[in-house]
Chains A and B, each alone.
Chain A
Amino acid sequence: GAGVSQSPSNKVTEKGKDVELRCDPISGHTALYWYRQSLGQGLEFLIYFQGNSAPDKSGLPSDRFSAERTGGSVSTLTIQRTQQEDSAVYLCASSQGGLAGVGEQFFGPGTRLTVL
């Protein structure tokens, strides 16, 4: 595809339910990032995948959050036992990766998660 795609675009769930958010990066991009955008916290880094290396999970706010990237392409962010404070827009970004591509990230449109 031409850009990073994310699904669903909107997700409304009840407190305590699990949710899965999907990201399809730009073809050929080896680096993939998840960020969270909320009113109180701005844009926060969550997790980073680069090729087959171990992911950088340093931004995940709690052990209820996890992510995986299958086949070096599609990524899924899972939030277990959702809480109201998890309500935010979850953004995925990809880049070519490696030193030359560091920082030039292309963002998807995001998934707006609302936890009731």
Chain B
Amino acid sequence: GQNIDQPTEMTATEGAIVQINCTYQTSGFNGLFWYQQHAGEAPTFLSYNVLDGLEEKGRFSSFLSRSKGYSYLLLKELQMKDSASYLCAVIKAAGNKLTFGGGTRVLVKP
């Protein structure tokens, strides 16, 4: 089976940094995605990690440690529009099927 755990909610201030952690236990692993989902909208792709280490894309970075079953998404220079849910999703070894964590709702305050 697969367990994917993320905090339910986080609050941060505009301009600050927030780190969203994701831990997973899975019988097979072949990559981890982060998606952003605004309320009532579709999830949009943020990042993909399959090797250990940090992937940086502008204000967003994602880190993976396969040995620890751990990833985080780092959001820097927070903007009000970053208020959304952030979904961690793991791919099993076979095929491109995503299993999502419950999502972390981030609220950015002025």
Decide if A and B are genuine partners: no
